[in-house]
Structure formats: structure tokens, C-alpha cells
A and B are shown apart, each in its own frame.
Chain A
């Protein structure tokens, strides 16, 4: 069993292909670990392996997959971490989950998350916080905190999550694993319970870069049920690069270390030095509007959320609070069903879209979004990737920021600009600071995932991060 746990997902798939590992044994090993999980990473775990005769075999060879709660899975609870969707079992499955199952990655469990993906610590789940496997007194990050903790603690070989302002990359960083936020449109959003539709994107959370590439390969593609999805322009390749010869990295000019924990900055600088040793050049690039990204993000995301969450009204599914008249039924259901952070965002979004404020908030934020996208375009004329720490700090203690929503939002400082520009970015572990993982982020132009994965792979080999301690 220990031997199975030591295998990455790609290694496990290869072992199954060679006939050295039984698929049912692989599934059962992880199923038992997921069922015994003590981090509150799961909201549902499969009670048996898919039947051998009915199970689909594909290139992913039966390596089981943990799936963030907000992906709809037919007849399996899909609650988006919210009480308003308690016990909801959708009549259909999200396209990306379906694609991965067809490729041979069966559903292992549904992972805990911040309610409707709103949060950076997983403390906003209606089903309790997830604990960080490196230190159980700390948060795993969010909103895909359950997926990140599951992979880091070895209760899942790999997982998928969603990223709207950093919800894949930040928990990956805080849990010492790899997280990729793809180009907007690369992965179908059909069946993903929506938070902010123009930003939401599904992606892999994995033990290493190769696993991320392998899983991502089977996630991409146009889906006629998501009109914003597009065909990925090339095959997703498994990375092999050993050097960064000729690769130009750009560090934002205003990244001086201010507002970043010294231990995080130290790992960031050390990683830049490793990149230079591998042949990369490192230059400063101007991203003059990145500093406005959090402000624009916290208008656009809540505005879209306030519209998307209007559907939770106690009529068609989920919670209902009885009342004598329709309006009171709506308002009571929503009062009891939504948590504090979701209410805050619905109110911010509704305010920003309301008569008299629309131009000042939503209209301006959309223009800032254009400036941020232009900044990246200009930067990518001079460098191949923009690099930053993924998060300004390591995993913080449970409860440390719950009373200060703005402090919590500032966790997204380095991750919010990319979804606004629709571009891909990866977080890879860059070592430890005070015993806790630090993430290194690389962002590239739209559809540059293959190049990002190659560069991340070369760096990963040089960093040699050992994440086995969290799987004990």
C-alpha cells in the first residue's frame, strides 16, 4: 500500500498499463484513505470501485479522481459547499468530469470547498473548514482547499478544482502541490456550478507537473454546451525540458517584497536563481495596472455572482424555508441557505450593478480589465512568462483572517490578474518557509500551457521539492 502511495498518478497509470498494478486495488487503496480522511477534505466518497466489467478503460488507466464539490455529478451530492444545495443530486454530469471518466479516471469523491468557490481559506464551507496536511492548525487555502488537501495528503492521486481569482493556484501553493489554471475557454464549464462566469475555469491539482499535463490533456476541448469553450490549438504534451535555455522570465516591477512574507520572498528569489542556473534570463516587466486587479476583481466577480446566485430561490432544487407568500419564501430561503461571505458578495455585486452605480463600478472595472490584459500583452512581447510568488504568505492559522474580509481578499493579490486577462498560470512548490510550502507562479499568454508546463517541469526537477512528508 505504501508503494502505491509513492507513485504519482502518471506512474500509477503506467504501472496499470504494464500489468504490475491492479486497477481495483489502486482504487480501493485511495478509497479507503479518502473514507478515513481526517482533514475534512471530502464531502462524499464513493462506496465501491466501479465494477470491473462496466468500468471504462482509457489512457488514464483507472487512476481515481477527486472532484471539487461544485462540479455536477449525476446522482451524487453536488452542493458547492453550500447549505442552500444540501443533498442536491444533479440529473447530469459536468462535461469535464465525464471526459475524464471516459479517459479512465473514475470518480473517487467530492471535495470540500469554500461556499460557491468564494474564499481563500476554505473556512467559508457550510460543511466546516478543511485542515492543511502540513499543519492541521492551518488553512489549506481556497477555494479548492479540499482538492488540494486530498492530493497533498495522499487521499487522492489527483484532483480537479476551479479557479476564478486564484482558487486552484493558491491552495496548491499552500499545500505544496501543483495547480494549473488554464486559458479561459480551454475547458468546458458545462455542469460547473457557476460563480463568476467570465472568470471561472477548471484545472488540475496534482502532485507534480507531469500529472498536471496528463490530466489537463484529457480536460481540454470545445463543448457545444459551453459556447465560450474553444478547441485547444495543439495536443497537450507531457513535459521533458531539462533546461530553460533561451527562456525569458519577467518579474513585475512593483514586486519589491513589500506585503510579502520574507520567507516567501526568499524562496522566490532562490527559484529565480535556479532558473538562471538553468539558462533563463530574468528581467523586470511593467504591469502598471496589476495593482488595480483586486479592486476590479472584487467588482466583477461579485457582480456576476449576484446574478448567477439569483437561481437559488427554493423553487426547483435545494433548500426551501416555508412562508405564506412567495417573496418571503425567497428571502427566508436565501437568508438561511447562504453563508456570510456569499451574502457579502451578493450584496457587493447587487450594489455595483444597481441603478446609479453601474458605470462607476462595473463599467469602470471592465475597463480596468482591458488595461490589465493589455499590460500582459505588452509584457509578453518582452518576456515568455511573468513570474511571482503564488501567495503573499504561507498557510495561515484557522480563524486568523475570518473577521477581516479585505485581508482575506488580499491573498489573491498575485493570482487575480490572470483570470481577468483570461491567461493561463501554474503554481509549483518552491520549497518550505518555516516548515510550510511556498508556491512559485508562472503565467504565459493564452494557450501557452505546453510552454508553461515545460518551464515548470524544468524548474521542478531543479527544485527537487519533497512533498512526501504530508502523505504520512
Chain B
């Protein structure tokens, strides 16, 4: 069972604001889902290696050749706020 405090804790970790209605709804929903997920605790997996990826590729490297990147104004064109060639955000300490 996930209680309201845990939901708020996880939401803080995820940088997600939840309103009051969402908190109570989600704590019930997450509990049901996690109960189903708990099914995997039935299995003995002691000696089983984990799979993070189904393709057997590691360290895929390409030659380190410099090439043009997207122009600055193109990258900034989709940003909500821009100034002096950079992204503008509110102060972290305000």
C-alpha cells in the first residue's frame, strides 16, 4: 500500500506537482498496480543475470571526427524564453 506521504515523496523526486484530488486518486491506483507488479517476487531469481537490453552491443564507437552541429538560433527557436543566445529560467533561489 502506497500512502499519501509516499506519493508526495515520489512526486517530489519526479519534479511533479500533484493537486489534492490527484494525490488521493493516484495513491489508490498505484497500490493496485504495485500489487500486480509484486507477482515477480514469487520467483526465485537468485542466480539469474539481469537483462538491461536485448541486443548484444557494447561500446559502439564511431571515429571522432568533428562535424557541424545545429545552428544556435535553430536550437533556441523552440524555447519558451531566450536571451543573449541562451535559455532563460527563473532563479533557483528566488
Residues of A close to B93: CB separation below 8 A:
325
CB closest chain-A residue, reference B80? A320
B68 within 8 Å of A (CB atoms):
no
Number of contacts between A and B (CB, 8 Å)?
A: 178
CA distance A370 to B51 in the complex (A): 5
Q: Is the CB of B11 within 8 A of A368?
A: no
* Minimum CB–CB distance for A374 against chain B, Å: 9
Stretch at the interface among A344-352, A435-443, A464-472: A344-352
In the bound assembly, the distance between CA atoms of A423 and B55 in angstroms comes to 10
A354 to B48, CA, bound (A): 22
**B24 close to A (CB within 8 Å):** no
Selected A-B contacts with CB under 8 Å, 11 pairs: A90-B78, A198-B52, A289-B43, A317-B80, A322-B90, A327-B15, A344-B26, A344-B30, A348-B34, A363-B50, A367-B48
Please determine whether A347 and B16 come into contact, CB atoms closer than 8 angstroms.
yes
Q: Is A44 an interface residue, CB under 8 A from the partner?
A: no
Closest B residue to A304 by beta carbon equals B52
Cα–Cα distance between A365 and B16 once the two chains are bound (Å): 25
Cβ A405 vs Cβ B33 within 8 A: yes
Minimal beta-carbon separation of B52 from chain A (angstroms): 6
Nearest A residue to B70 by beta-carbon distance? A91
Which residues on B sit within 8 Å (CB–CB) of A310?
14-15
The closest CB in chain A to the CB of B61 belongs to A227
Q: Are B90 and A323 in contact, with the CB atoms below 8 A? A: yes
Known contacts A198-B53, A364-B40; decide if A316 and B14 are in contact (CB<8 Å).
Answer: no
Q: Which 4 A-B pairs have the closest CB atoms?
A: A422-B54, A366-B50, A227-B60, A320-B80
Interface of A is mostly: helix
- Are A405 and B29 neighbours in the complex by a CB distance under 8 Å? yes
Cβ of B1 under 8 Å from chain A = no
Binding site for A on B (CB under 8 A): 2, 6-7, 10-11, 13-19, 22, 26, 29-30, 32-34, 36-41, 43, 45, 48-55, 57, 60, 62, 70, 74-75, 77-81, 87, 89-94
With contacts A198-B52, A325-B94 taken as known, whether A360 is within 8 angstroms of B30 at the C-beta atoms is no
B38 contacts across to A, CB distance below 8 A: 295
A446 to B54, CA, bound (A): 10
Report the separation of the CA atoms of residues A387 and B40 in the bound assembly, to the nearest whole angstrom. Answer: 24
Beta-carbon contact of B53 and A406 below 8 Å: no
A371 to B37, CA, bound (A): 16
Question: Which residue of B13, B16, B33, B89 contacts A343 across the interface (Cβ within 8 Å)?
Answer: B16
Alpha-carbon distance between A406 and B7 when the two chains are bound, in angstroms: 18
A373, CB-defined interface residue at 8 Å: yes
Beyond A185-B54, A351-B30, 19 additional pairs, beta carbon < 8 A: A90-B78, A91-B77, A227-B57, A298-B36, A313-B15, A315-B80, A319-B80, A323-B90, A325-B94, A327-B15, A328-B17, A332-B17, A343-B18, A347-B16, A363-B50, A371-B45, A405-B29, A405-B33, A406-B32
A380 at interface by CB-CB < 8 Å: no
